[in-house]
Structure 1
């Protein structure tokens, strides 16, 4: 549908957009915008990133190729993309939440889980609320072709977010907003209605390189360029094989994801607490120590991660990650209980886990003299 056709149908698109913003706020979204579907200028960068192999084992990215930059090919008839941003910092987060996170990283026996995974699975939260927003739109203007996405299809989310004013692409490649930093999820509604476009956001990283300097594995190989093969978030979540030995020590006690580039970002002093209880932390994973998590069998893992994004990596990757973290803790602390727990798990371990347990047990011999 063209803008002229919308007007002929009696649709007041600017007024509709104002109403959409109000509905989005009521649903817990921090901000919404509207992007065009012409992303051809983003295609060379995407092609170069794929050509460099920076997507690692995420073969689906290469399989979709440039389709990610062509929304109208993903959903024919699409003329606009409604973009949405939802803050996820838990309501209970203290003022010095970054310092608390760094303190936990400095405690080898404690488990560190990325903040976004402390509560309910964001895929479910955003998808349901985006669908409710789309339903409200349909009720107002009648049936329209649309589809909602939340990290679930070949969509250039950060590109669309920046073009529609939700933020700019930070040097760590995440979307950054002046009023909320980067602690937010993104989602989209592809729609065949020519809503008025919202202006893009300007970049405000300046000369800052805090995120590049802080990355434990130097995965941010240049400003705005991430090599997923080195990224702890990729290695601990997406990667299903052995963790490359050269990155295991750098993982520390990070067992699911990594927040370091966000923890040091100056703009995250403006990160806003989520109004939704969905993102409140679950103590079983947000405040656990490594040995208690290592004691879980598969039934316990499934129970404690029900409704969580963590569940999707499965017990195999979960224990692989824990074995690496326990090896690092064994090296740092010399706690005999860690070695005993690792040894006890060896007889039942499959090949992948056994290799990581073997590496973990060998770490004490690598400890600095006097440790």
Structure 2
């Protein structure tokens, strides 16, 4: 029998948007869902047909080939030219397209069921997340760091291996849900009979009852403990940035999924360097004599000490740039610069001899604000006085 057009199956036009295709599939899937039509083979086939159509039309590449070749495109699927639609079972459909309905089971997610994570029909609990602060120096931020931190948290109980039971014989299949972890109810509505799914109230979705609890964790499967965790901090992080380590949070009861560890970065203020984005700023103070004559000075950087040259006649407020001496960007080869702000320092207290010397220079035209003129005479006169 010839296959129906995928657009017709979902009830949308050929030029439909991705959102319209998604809505069309949702509408058909709800209409023909097995939970709404128990035992109806025809509805089940329509349900699979809608899933096949959505699988192709939701993919831009597959949709393009289907629009060009139709169902004939699948004749080339072995060589990679087709789109692979068809031959989907119910498990494939639920696993691939369950997010369309917002829950582990598409139908229960639409009609108010769990939305809970499930494994084999049973509820899978997740441990809570933990938040910690890590204080880093500017050098650690620039180069990356490895930190070993002791974290107080919930850990699996060693006595029962996290099961919460005294021993294996302490587990009993829940009689209410038969081990499924969920119960189904059929209600009559104006739309007909509707079957809904909810967490089993007896076993709380576990699928089993513990008849004899562990004496250490009292059935929880977790206890308070301490774990030393190694944290690798990438270079370039900044104040307030959050990093996440999956599965390093609190352990979950009875074999559930551990929570995550959230790491909040806190910068330790440097004594002499100030961070500005990926750049580093350093305030350099020099005397007006060094500014006039020029000199070489040693300054701190993230990578250690560095010697820089101050040109003769350097003015206060000038900024020197040291390329690639700043902080790198996270997960990037790019790095900021170090900016050296020149501040010309003026002495507040002078000896009599120093005052006499400066008074002799005070009326010199080279000591008047007139940049760029008579520099040669200025240096000659400075040499004369200091000799």
Which TM class, normalised by the smaller chain length? under 0.3
Task: From the two aligned structures, give the one with the greater helix fraction.
Answer: 1
Higher relative contact order (CA 8 A, sep 6+): 1
Q: Which has the larger radius of gyration?
A: 2
